[in-house]
Amino acid sequence: MKLVVPALEYLDAYADALRRGWSPDNVRLEVTAREELQKLAESPQSFILSLDDRAATGGPITLPDGSQVPRLPGYRRWLWDGEFCGSINFRWQPGTTELPPHCLGHIGYAVVPWKRGLGYATRALALLLPDARQEGLAYVELTTDLENLPSQKVITANGGVLVKQFTKEPVYGSVEALLFRIDL
């Protein structure tokens, strides 16, 4: 498995995963899948370009309650083993390792259900960490729900240390979650 920069040559496989019920967003699942299918139908090239936004020019981010917040610089990579396997994204605030309260971590990932259990999320995270280091971050933070043991294993396999249990912002349902840190 390798990380690939999203490109037109992979787009059909990405769209197929969305149509099969997978979502790159673990919070706004079906809504994000529908939005992305609509965007790629309107302009495949623009959609691909929007996934690498290091200058945060893509407009605001919509939170689960419909409110909008400023976009952070970031980009997405796709997991590829000859087929589409999932995605991993990285976001940051220039000049600081801190994130705004509405942002649930520097890195998020989602593997398609038919490729889970193969170690792809663990490998994807390991492949992305050098990029975070190149952005000048001393560490990255990742969050996971209390019951998401597979994600917790992905994080700890990459050197993640539990920082604390916390309550997510009300926009995310005020549920308990775990915050991990990986020193770079």
What pLDDT is attached to residue 30?
Answer: 87
Three-state SS string over 80-108 comes to ECCCEEEEEEEECECCECCCCCCCCECEE
Q: Which of the four CATH numbers 3.30.750, 3.40.630, 1.10.3470, 3.40.50 does domain 2-138 have? A: 3.40.630
Q: Domain spans of the chain?
A: 2-138
38-81 pLDDT, tens digit per residue, is 999 999 999 999 999 999 998 898 888 888 999 999 999 999 99
Q: Are strands 161-167 and 139-145 parallel, antiparallel or unpaired?
A: unpaired
pTM of the model: 0.94
What pLDDT is attached to residue 26?
Answer: 80
What pLDDT is attached to residue 158?
Answer: 98
Nearest Cα to 175, choosing from 132, 146, 134? 146
The ranges of the chain with pLDDT < 70 are none
What pLDDT is attached to residue 29?
Answer: 76
Helix (H) or strand (E) holding 113: none
Residue 61: exposure state from Cβ atoms within 10 A (0-12, 13-18, ≥19) = middle
What pLDDT is attached to residue 18?
Answer: 96
